[in-house]
Structure 1
């Protein structure tokens, strides 16, 4: 029997009974009356069954409703009783529901939070970055997680870990699920550990006696500043390598230290090789290093003071990228301007790489230095560096401080002598059994048989114009532009990557492109500014003011990272009055994009092209050759 009776069945039966009643009233014979009464009894029985079905169905509906209410109450209690703050918002981050922990974290009753944007509880200097993350999350099907500061009502700001998932219920507008956890105590503990390690490193490097720490295999783990002054070897040249000296020197020192069972230093004579190639004999005190478990951790070597005069000691190598403390503060920390510290440091590092003043592995200001120069809490600075480390912009080394991340492109010097270069090419070709007369045809087939699709990505019109112009003219690439600003959607980037063979960009957008380009299998080539142009501009800035005519003021800010950048005057090409006020006799630094807008003749400090360093030419050539070889294989 059906438990879901027809809702019209009772009405039908009522109509039928009325008809039978009328029929019985008109009956003129006993047999017809008897038949009518029998049908009436059947109809009454069917009506009774229908009534029972309706009662049973009503009971089932009541049970289901009660179960749904209990389930809703159970889920509500679980939601409200969760230890973490839980929020449900619309796609723009406006709160629709929040649990008790969320209200306590925000400092506002949960019922009063509904209808308020989450952004109002984010500090003002972090809201732009928060909104950018929210925009990315709203278009991503993958849960997003990050750390940020939260500003509760009437309380000190908190550090929280945020995990946001997009959901799209059927028949309703999509929204966001938020899980927020207070990590202030954890970050304070981590910051204290980083500070302690940083302080210990600074103290160790301040020791004037040269010292070295070797691991159990004799590889250099730590190299003091005094050892660098003594031998000329920089820390990054020896760490991870064998001790510079005769074979077996490290093993002899370790054996001498291990023989001292009382833990006292052992005296040994060692020879070290200086960076200049000379050998110096030194007396050293050697101590075996072991943990609480007694397991050997390595060997500490402390060299006796040398009698070699300071002026005769091999000098530590100097780098063009070395910055004074004032330069580091202006370039790396000046970009914050009271705003987001992370973005300021990120832009400073990108500018340093772009201008060739930084290389991967170069040491950056310590946490305490940054905190002192920016008047920020050292824990906030530590968190900023950790976040940049997560993006690959910097590398935090427990024993060596903070350095430029290895993911940034390193420049390789190329010869500017065309004849010498061509002679080398022909010589290499001969070694590969390629005859000189065959070389032009080989180059033509391997570089001109297929068109390379190139996606140029940057946030300024100045670099986008320079990129597309040089990649079309110099390499014959078919270029497409993509503006990397806050309006760029991830799905737009992913679609563009599917239609290209290579991405060419500047150091400012490596973090944005790295993961999606790897997922798409597309190589990324990062270009730097032309070193000749940078050198000419810096020489001029050392003498006095220099004007840069640009299309986008943000490009001008990149140029301020040059040595003497505080003397740089940036003029927009669209500012006709400012351009007209320039002295035609004074040389200016001008971008190709700006040159297309400026109508009056100006004296150029450096040519418009090439705008970029040739250091990554090999990478571009590899893409060009690979694409042409693929095309030749497909045609064959």
Structure 2
């Protein structure tokens, strides 16, 4: 029954009762019946009021339903956005269960392992680990049940039909409300070129700094001026100590603002900067250094330093850094990089 029909039905009953009530009022002996009729009329009024309240509630529910539909549409758009970010990311990303069975894989992962992403699903990730390191990989997987933080592993991976490569895996455990490990988020990056570059730097270091190999301090870097920027005091102290052993003069500061103050007073031969710093990071520094170079006609070689293997080396070089080095690199690599940048080979 529609709302209109319901209202019309109530109205008809009310009219009939009112007509009956008029008739009963003319007959005093029918007073009890008249009182009953009045109660019925009152009840019908209440019934109509309930019907109006129900209609108001129905309209409110329709508004809520419209809002929910809009929210569902917004969520679908957002879900598609994050799916595209996952699927077209430049790094290989996987979602696996707690045993390392692949549940999701993006396009880069497929390209890295020479197999379509859909065919990766259901395969153990251990199948793509170099055979000599599979036992170690499984041990690391088992240890994740006791770990909560993101883990960084270096493991040799073996794509289908291709040569093994050195990889860095960032592994993030996901747990349910009971604390049980349910899945793993894994990013994989081929660091073969990075390690080769480090070997080349070591080779250059041995050629540029033969005195160091003999236990002597090389004098070819005496007087070299280096500006080092890092928000961590330990890093500033360590890098300063390493470079000063080779006769390099180091000005170490903890922020981009302090670095710019130094550049207003002096012109260093080389600038080395950490990438990840609070407030203003290394990318901000290189942009401001480039602007200062254009203003003063300078050209200062710059190097990016990072504590993260997963740091985007290509991005650092693209924004203007001439070199990129990991903080855990050997001191000889650091000195060789500075020598190369300063042209003191």
Helix, strand or coil at the partner of 1:29: helix
C-alpha distance 40-129 of structure 1, shift in aligned 2 (>3 A): closer
Number of aligned pairs? 215
Alignment of 1:14-25 (within 5 A): none
C-alpha distance 398-34 of structure 1, shift in aligned 2 (>3 A): closer
Q: How much has 1:59 moved relative to structure 2?
A: 0.6
Cα deviation code 1:378-425 (max 9, x no counterpart): xxxxxxxxxxxx8xxxx97859xxxxxxxxxxxxxxxxxxxxxxxxxx
- Select the residue among 103, 109, 132 that pairs with 1:96: 103
C-alpha distance 198-124 of structure 1, shift in aligned 2 (>3 A): farther
Is 1:180–2:194 an aligned residue pair? no
d(CA) in 2 for partners of 1:397 and 1:70?
A: 49
C-alpha distance 21-113 of structure 1, shift in aligned 2 (>3 A): farther
- Select the residue among 193, 212, 220 that pairs with 1:290: 220
Cα deviation code 1:221-257 (max 9, x no counterpart): 654xxxxxxxxxxxxxxx58xxxxxxxxxxxxx9xxx
Task: Specify the alignment match of 2:202 in structure 1.
Answer: 194
C-alpha distance 36-139 of structure 1, shift in aligned 2 (>3 A): closer
C-alpha distance 157-57 of structure 1, shift in aligned 2 (>3 A): same
Unaligned stretches of 5+ in structure 1?
A: 1-9, 205-212, 214-220, 224-238, 241-253, 255-287, 299-389, 400-636
C-alpha distance 297-176 of structure 1, shift in aligned 2 (>3 A): closer
Helix, strand or coil at the partner of 1:87: strand
d(CA) in 1 for partners of 2:44 and 2:224?
A: 106
Contact 2:114 2:161 in 1 (8 A): yes
Contact 1:86 1:99 in 2 (8 A): yes
C-alpha distance 294-43 of structure 1, shift in aligned 2 (>3 A): closer
Unaligned stretches of 5+ in structure 2?
A: 23-36, 226-244, 248-327, 334-345
Task: Specify the alignment match of 1:151 in structure 2.
Answer: 158
d(CA) in 2 for partners of 1:173 and 1:222?
A: 49
d(CA) in 2 for partners of 1:107 and 1:23?
A: 79
Contact 1:87 1:95 in 2 (8 A): yes
Q: How much has 1:115 moved relative to structure 2?
A: 1.0
Task: Specify the alignment match of 1:209 in structure 2.
Answer: none
Is 1:29–2:21 an aligned residue pair? yes
| More contact order relative to length (CA 8 Å, sep ≥ 6) | 2
Contact 2:156 2:166 in 1 (8 A): yes
Contact 2:10 2:48 in 1 (8 A): no
d(CA) in 1 for partners of 2:55 and 2:213?
A: 94
d(CA) in 2 for partners of 1:62 and 1:191?
A: 58
Helix, strand or coil at the partner of 1:290: coil
Q: How much has 1:117 moved relative to structure 2?
A: 0.7
Helix, strand or coil at the partner of 2:199: helix
C-alpha distance 168-297 of structure 1, shift in aligned 2 (>3 A): closer
Cα deviation code 1:188-223 (max 9, x no counterpart): 11123334556889xx6xxxxxxxx5xxxxxxx654
Q: How much has 1:124 moved relative to structure 2?
A: 1.0
C-alpha distance 70-297 of structure 1, shift in aligned 2 (>3 A): closer
Q: TM-score, normalised by structure 1?
A: 0.29
Task: Specify the alignment match of 1:129 in structure 2.
Answer: 136
Contact 1:138 1:176 in 2 (8 A): no
Contact 1:17 1:40 in 2 (8 A): no
d(CA) in 1 for partners of 2:79 and 2:10?
A: 50
Contact 1:137 1:165 in 2 (8 A): no
Q: TM-score, normalised by structure 2?
A: 0.51
Task: Specify the alignment match of 1:117 in structure 2.
Answer: 124
Cα deviation code 1:305-353 (max 9, x no counterpart): xxxxxxxxxxxxxxxxxxxxxxxxxxxxxxxxxxxxxxxxxxxxxxxxx
Task: Specify the alignment match of 2:73 in structure 1.
Answer: 66
C-alpha distance 40-155 of structure 1, shift in aligned 2 (>3 A): same
C-alpha distance 170-17 of structure 1, shift in aligned 2 (>3 A): farther
> Once superposed, what is the RMSD of the aligned Cα atoms?
4.2
Is 1:46–2:53 an aligned residue pair? yes
Helix, strand or coil at the partner of 1:186: helix
Q: How much has 1:90 moved relative to structure 2?
A: 1.0
Alignment of 1:403-418 (within 5 A): none
Alignment of 1:330-369 (within 5 A): none
Contact 1:20 1:36 in 2 (8 A): no
Alignment of 1:267-306 (within 5 A): 289-291=219-221, 297=246
Task: Specify the alignment match of 2:310 in structure 1.
Answer: none
- Select the residue among 68, 75, 82 that pairs with 2:89: 82
Task: Specify the alignment match of 2:303 in structure 1.
Answer: none
C-alpha distance 83-222 of structure 1, shift in aligned 2 (>3 A): closer
Helix, strand or coil at the partner of 2:115: coil
Is 1:107–2:114 an aligned residue pair? yes
C-alpha distance 170-75 of structure 1, shift in aligned 2 (>3 A): farther
d(CA) in 1 for partners of 2:112 and 2:48?
A: 71
Q: How much has 1:51 moved relative to structure 2?
A: 2.1
Contact 1:17 1:43 in 2 (8 A): no
d(CA) in 2 for partners of 1:161 and 1:17?
A: 73
d(CA) in 2 for partners of 1:146 and 1:55?
A: 53
d(CA) in 2 for partners of 1:173 and 1:148?
A: 22
Helix, strand or coil at the partner of 2:65: helix
Contact 1:85 1:100 in 2 (8 A): yes
Contact 1:137 1:143 in 2 (8 A): no
d(CA) in 2 for partners of 1:192 and 1:22?
A: 98
d(CA) in 1 for partners of 2:213 and 2:119?
A: 56
Cα deviation code 1:581-627 (max 9, x no counterpart): xxxxxxxxxxxxxxxxxxxxxxxxxxxxxxxxxxxxxxxxxxxxxxx
